[in-house]
Amino acid sequence: MSRTNKSRHRWSHGYVSNHLRWEQRHERKVHRRWARQQLPLLSVSVFEQLLEDIAADRLEAHGALEQAMRLRNPVEPDLR
């Protein structure tokens, strides 16, 4: 009957390395949580851009080039 030597186990090399490994795992979890929270915002903004592009294409097709240009390149007001 052979016993495994616990000190040779790959995770038991001391507190420091275990603690660093936990920190890295926790950091990745935090990044993933942040990314999940940002995903709906990102998808909404991409969807809005897609709708604006479609609207601008329709305006161009109907000859309203100036309105299409304004929709594609909105001028932000100068707040001085």
Q: Give the model confidence (pLDDT) of 7-31 as tens digits.
A: 555 555 555 666 677 788 888 888 8
Which value, in Å, is the radius of gyration of the alpha carbons in the chain?
27
Average of pLDDT values for 29-55?
Answer: 81
> What is the rounded CA–CA span in Å between residue 22 and residue 25?
5
Confidence check: pLDDT of 49 > 80: yes
pLDDT at res. 61: 86
> What is the rounded CA–CA span in Å between residue 42 and residue 1?
58
Q: CB–CB of 11/18 below 8 Å?
A: yes
Confidence check: pLDDT of 4 > 60: no
Q: 54 is written with which tokens?
A: 């479609």
All structural domains of the chain with their residue ranges? 15-72
Confidence of residue 74 (pLDDT cuts 50, 70, 90): confident
Looking at the chain, the whole-number percentage of residues with pLDDT higher than 70 is 69
